[in-house]
């Protein structure tokens, strides 16, 4: 059961918990009282593009691709249409995490050009080739991206 919105879980931790459950294709069972939930909790639980990863037709669970002890975790999973979901979680208590991800790490051809979509912000970022650097500013928060082959 999701812990998003329960006591002892910060908003950042709730977003990371939710994103990981979505990437793992786990059932999204809300474990908090939604009648008393904060706006941040409701926003997390209703993030349409993050939920879209959970509901993607490919049904492929994400896997841990890299872990930098006490700094970050990098997860990815395949999506329909040849796309890949990328999740970077900041494990630090007080600093931003800057994580370089090479396409080969996450199952994308090394020199491929991809479109980049920030699923929390629901906005497109600049296209990338070969890899990218992800910055997660808040402690225990995450960045979740959808990477798709760019049209040539």
Q: Tell me: the pLDDT tens digits for 65-90?
A: 999 999 999 999 999 999 999 999 99
Please tell me the distance from the alpha carbon of residue 71 to that of residue 52, in angstroms, as a whole number.
27
The answer to whether position 3 is within a domain reads no
Please tell me the distance from the alpha carbon of residue 119 to that of residue 86, in angstroms, as a whole number.
10
Residue range(s) defining the domain that contains residue 30: 11-55
Q: What is the CATH number of the domain that holds 130?
A: 2.60.40.1180
For the whole prediction, is pTM greater than 0.85?
yes
Q: What is the pLDDT of residue 38?
A: 96
Are residues 81 and 40 located together in one domain of the fold? no
The answer to whether position 67 is within a domain reads yes
Strand ranges across the sheet with 84-90:
63-68, 72-78, 84-90, 142-149, 113-118, 123-129
The answer to whether position 25 is within a domain reads yes
Are residues 48 and 95 located together in one domain of the fold? no
Residue ranges of the chain whose pLDDT lies below 70: 152
How many distinct structural domains can be found in the chain?
A: 2
Identify the bridge partners of residue 116 per DSSP, sorted by sequence position.
125, 147
Are residues 47 and 73 located together in one domain of the fold? no
């Amino acid at each position: 059961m999701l812990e998003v919105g329960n006591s002892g879980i910060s908003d950042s931790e709730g977003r990371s918990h939710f994103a990981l459950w979505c990437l793992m294709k786990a059932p999204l069972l809300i474990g908090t009282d939604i009648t008393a939930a904060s706006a941040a909790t409701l926003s997390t639980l209703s993030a349409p593009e993050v939920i879209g990863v959970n509901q993607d037709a490919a049904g492929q669970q994400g896997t841990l691709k890299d872990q930098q002890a006490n700094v970050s975790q990098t997860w990815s999973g395949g999506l329909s249409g040849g796309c890949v979901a990328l999740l970077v979680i900041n494990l630090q208590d007080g600093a931003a995490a800057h994580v370089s991800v090479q396409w080969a790490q996450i199952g994308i051809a090394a020199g491929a050009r991809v479109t980049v979509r920030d699923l929390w912000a629901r906005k497109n970022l600049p296209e990338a080739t070969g890899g990218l650097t992800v910055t997660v500013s808040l402690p225990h928060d995450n960045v979740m991206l959808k990477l798709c082959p760019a049209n040539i």
